[in-house]
Chain A
Amino acid sequence: MIGPGFADPVLGAQAAFRALLEATAYPGRVRRIAPQPGWPAALPPAMAALALTLCDQDTPLWQDAGPEVARWLAFHTGAPPARAEEAAFLLCIGAPPPLAALRLGSDEAPQDGATLLLAVASLQEGQGRLTLEGPGIAGAARLEVGGLPPRLLAERAALAPLFPRGLDLVLCAGESIVALPRSIRITEAP
């Protein structure tokens, strides 16, 4: 039995998209997406909502949350399952694949770079060890992420010289999201 998607597919997707649009425009700020009953427990609700909002038959999708989630995603989005290197969207609840191996777009079509939705333990804006700078941030923003995979920031920083090629991260903790588009520089206090 496959669980439900959005109770209201039109307004549910609109609200989730708007949260991600604001999160992407103001990187480092936490936005919330209201969860709905019946979604796969393996995915953070915010990640499930964004998958329903953005994925369809045009977006090759990779995920590591198991066969039940795969069936739910296939039914509600129709997104073709893909290897990590080919995926437009990646839903990652475990250790992420090496970032350099993912789709990064080309200099002429950098928008083809992947979007990696990554589950983390917690998100807190306005304080913490990470300092963010770049478009969307007045000066600098602080962010605390609980449960960030250890290699992730170094791998992400290694892609920075390729800009405008790159990939965009969305961190999902329960109902909360923070977007880290490729244009943002992140420094980590020791």
Chain B
Amino acid sequence: MDAVRPDPARSAAAGGYNFAYLDEATKRMIRRALLKALAIPGHQVPFGAREMPLPYGWGTGGIQVTASVIGPTDVLKVIDQGADDTTNAVSIRRFFARVAGVATTESTRAATIIQTRHRIPETPLSEGQILVFQVPMPEPLFKLEPRVRESTRLHALADYGLMQVKLYEDIVRYGEVATSYNHPVMVAGRYLMSPSPIPAFDNPKLHMNPAILLFGAGREKRIYAVPPYTPVRSLDFEDHPFRPIRAPHACALCGSTESYLDEVIVDDRGGRMHVCSDTDYCRERREGRR
């Protein structure tokens, strides 16, 4: 699918907004945080998140990161759980078409910036592409250590025993690690990081990815990053290695046995089907482009 160009008459200047909505002082502050986040892979950099014209939990962190990075020649794709056509994705795409006048697309290949909620596209990313994650809770330790001062200290000391104990307790109780999403990772061997609530299936895509991975948490006011070609290891044990989980079915639309699947209830008699969560990948396969 080709990029869609917005109507210039409805662009930012026409609406009285600065390019990409944020004021320049805010962009500078976020840009400085992004650069330090790339220099210290996996470390959460505090930033002064602003009120955005949509509620927390709808991607305010990701939007602020995208707004600070995006330029007039960029092509933006926005996905929500892999889909280009859900409310959150459509709204954010229209927001940037309007306040930045940028072209938008549903194609993973055509996009220069992809803002995502809870998925990494199935189509492999390439160098120079920027993937912006919307993050609800950036602190991987928060359920184990709710005090921010203490968890900051644990990161400073690289003391991540708590998380290993939690995974161990999962194995004792359930026979396996019971995190199907948001499975914690170690970035470049130093920082424990929340990959945001992506399915564990997507965790291996973080490892040595050629694209730039930026994470923004608006409510929690944290920015972090994984540079390209950075080792990212999902926490596990030698005798309980990490397993990316996938429903044991083929996509009912495109037949893929590789992609991550959504389970859709189709009637009130228990009927259900499994379809690709990544709508662009699924459409490309059905159109025979791969």
B33-41, B86-94, B248-256, B272-280 - interface stretch? B33-41
A108 and B153 form a contact (CB under 8 A):
yes
CB neighbours of B28 from chain A (8 A) = 13, 53-56
**How many Å lie between the Cα of A26 and that of B43 in the bound state?**
18
Interface residues on B, range: 35 or more
- Within 8 Å by CB of B228, from A58, A115, A136, lies A136
A10 & B18 in contact (Cβ 8 Å cutoff): yes
Additional pairs, 17, CB under 8 Å, beyond known A110-B40, A183-B41: A11-B71, A17-B27, A17-B69, A22-B128, A24-B35, A24-B38, A53-B28, A56-B28, A107-B156, A108-B152, A108-B153, A108-B155, A108-B156, A113-B36, A115-B35, A136-B227, A163-B190
Query: Most chain-A Cβ atoms within 10 A of its Cβ — which of B156, B208, B227, B228?
Result: B227
- Which residue of the partner chain, among A55, A58, A181, contacts B38 with CB atoms under 8 Å? A181
Q: A54-B28, A54-B31, A137-B229 are in contact. Are A18 and B40 (CB under 8 A)?
A: no
Query: Chain B contacts of A108 at CB under 8 A?
Result: 152-153, 155-156
- A136 and B40 CA atoms in complex are apart in Å by 11
The B contact surface, by secondary structure, is mixed
Contact A17–B229 (Cβ < 8 Å) = no
For B18, what are the chain A residues with a Cβ–Cβ distance below 8 Å? Answer: 10
List A49-106 residues whose CB lies under 8 Å from chain B: 53-56, 58-59, 106
User: A interface vs B, CB < 8 Å?
Assistant: 9-11, 13-15, 17-18, 20-22, 24-26, 53-56, 58-59, 106-108, 110-111, 113, 115, 134-138, 163-164, 168, 181-183
Q: How distant is the Cα of A111 from the Cα of B37 in the complex, in angstroms?
A: 7
B79 to chain A, nearest CB (A): 21
A164 touches B212 (CB 8 A): no
Most buried by B among A20, A21, A111, A115: A111
Q: Is the Cβ of A24 less than 8 Å from the Cβ of B24?
A: no
Q: In the complex, what distance in Å separates the CA atom of A37 from the CA atom of B41? A: 37
- A135 close to B69 (CB less than 8 A): no
- What number of residue pairs across chains A and B have CB atoms under 8 A from each other? 108
B182 at interface by CB-CB < 8 Å: no
Q: Is B127 an interface residue (CB 8 A)?
A: yes
Asked if B266 CB lies within 8 Å of chain A CBs, one says: no
Within 8 A of A (CB), among B1-53: 18-20, 24-25, 27-29, 31-41, 43, 45-46
User: Known interface pairs A14-B71, A135-B229, A137-B229. Does A164 touch B188 (Cβ–Cβ under 8 Å)?
Assistant: no
Give the distance in Å from the alpha carbon of A54 to the alpha carbon of B35 in the complex: 10
Q: Does B165 lie at the interface of the complex (its beta carbon under 8 Å from any beta carbon of A)?
A: no
A88 closest partner in B (C-beta): B32
Return the CB mask of B52-96 against A: 1 if under 8 Å, else 0: 000000000000000011111000000000000000000000000
List, sorted by A's number, 10 A–B pairs whose CB atoms are closer than 8 Å. A10-B24, A11-B71, A13-B24, A13-B28, A26-B127, A53-B31, A111-B40, A113-B36, A135-B188, A164-B40
Partner of B39, one of A10, A11, A17, A183: A183
How many angstroms from the CA of A106 to the CA of B156 in the assembled complex? 8
Q: Which of B25, B32, B38, B156 has the most CB of A within 10 A?
A: B38
A138 to B229, CA, bound (A): 5
Chain A nearest CB, measured from B75 CB (Å): 14
When chains A and B are docked, how far (Å) is the Cα of A18 from the Cα of B208?
A: 21
